[in-house]
Amino acid sequence: MATGRMEFHAGSLMQHTNFSFVFPNDVEMEEVRDLRHYEREPYNLILLHGLTGTDTDWLYGGNAQQIAIQYNLNVFMPTTGNSFYLDHGYPGEDYCEFVGKELPEYIRSTFGIDLKRENTLIGGLSMGGYGAVHIALRYPEDFCACVALSSAIHVEDMAAAIGRGEEDVLPLELAKRIFGGPEQLLSSDSNPRVQLRDLKKAGKPIPYFYLACGTEDELCDANRSFAEFLEAEGAEHCYEEGPGRHDWFFWNEYLDRGIGQVMSVLWP
């Protein structure tokens, strides 16, 4: 197994930025639970950090290396700041474009890895869970599945807080800069519900979604509601909850469960 960290200039961010990676290129087979994953070429996972996080979070707090080993996955973990992975329409703050387009192209050209829809998924926790859903729906031709854990997908609550002039997960002025006003947040593609309905109208493919949240997490109701929305819209998905808070104990367990679920559905 190889791990590393790279810095490169991202045009969509107009700055140098980092990403970490894990390659399962020399794994001892005795470590692997299911050897069938090594009867194929590695699949690819772009894995996103949460608010205040960096590209190393899933290496130091999380189980990115074990996920890479067990499922034969190349794992790529970018740094994007507290951006919620949204585009602002100009170079310097196009975070969705960076993760969904520019980073995969850099990976292709640098490592010679053929990232394509049928072998690439995206995942994340908290802010990164929201980001994974948003990016998967923005680029459904590039990602076949999304694994979103404890996602900060409570857009109605965030919009209401902005409307009241109150802070939610972000300082008020930062929330306004990222999302705009309440109506802009709810009616634009910052709202995953809007994104999915637009994809359906356009007849475009919908990624498979795995969602999970801890029952002691204050985001549980919002994640449950989004799963119900996916059900109502006929989108293929799996939603799980279990005892847990907004922490690495939950995320590590359910990243493993989520990747396993995606593998069983898309690549049985």
| In the chain, domain spans | 2-266
What pLDDT is stored for residue 9 in this prediction?
Answer: 97
- Among candidates 60, 76, 193, 170, which has minimal Cα distance to 123? 76
Q: pLDDT tens digits for 54-92?
A: 999 999 999 999 999 999 999 999 999 999 999 999 999
- Among candidates 255, 193, 262, 187, which has minimal Cα distance to 226? 193
Cα separation, 211 vs 149, in Å, equals 6
Cα separation, 133 vs 26, in Å, equals 31
Are 260 and 238 spatial neighbours (Cβ–Cβ below 8 Å)? no
2-266 placed in CATH 1.10.10.60: no
**Exposed, middle or buried by CB within 10 Å (0-12, 13-18, 19+), for 228?**
exposed
Are 215 and 242 spatial neighbours (Cβ–Cβ below 8 Å)? yes
Are 168 and 195 spatial neighbours (Cβ–Cβ below 8 Å)? no
φ and ψ at residue 192, rounded to 5 degrees: -60, -25
Q: pLDDT tens digits for 171-200?
A: 999 999 999 999 999 999 999 999 999 999
Q: What is the pTM assigned to this prediction?
A: 0.97
Cα separation, 184 vs 159, in Å, equals 9
φ and ψ at residue 20, rounded to 5 degrees: -100, 160
Q: pLDDT tens digits for 97-151?
A: 999 999 999 999 999 999 999 999 999 999 999 999 999 999 999 999 999 999 9
Six-digit token string for 6 = 């790279």
**Averaged over 15-37, what is the pLDDT?**
95
Q: How confident is the model at residue 169 (pLDDT cuts 50, 70, 90)?
A: confident
150: left (phi over 0), alpha (psi -120 to 50) or beta: left
Q: Is the pLDDT of residue 228 over 90?
A: yes
Cα separation, 211 vs 234, in Å, equals 15
Cα separation, 115 vs 242, in Å, equals 33
What pLDDT is stored for residue 21 in this prediction?
Answer: 98
Q: Is the pLDDT of residue 168 over 90?
A: no
Strands (E), 186-259: 208-214, 237-242
Q: For all residues of the chain together, what is the average pLDDT?
A: 96
Please report which helix (H) or strand (E) contains residue 248, including its range: helix 248-266
Q: pLDDT tens digits for 139-149?
A: 999 999 999 99
For residue 8, the cross-strand partners are 17
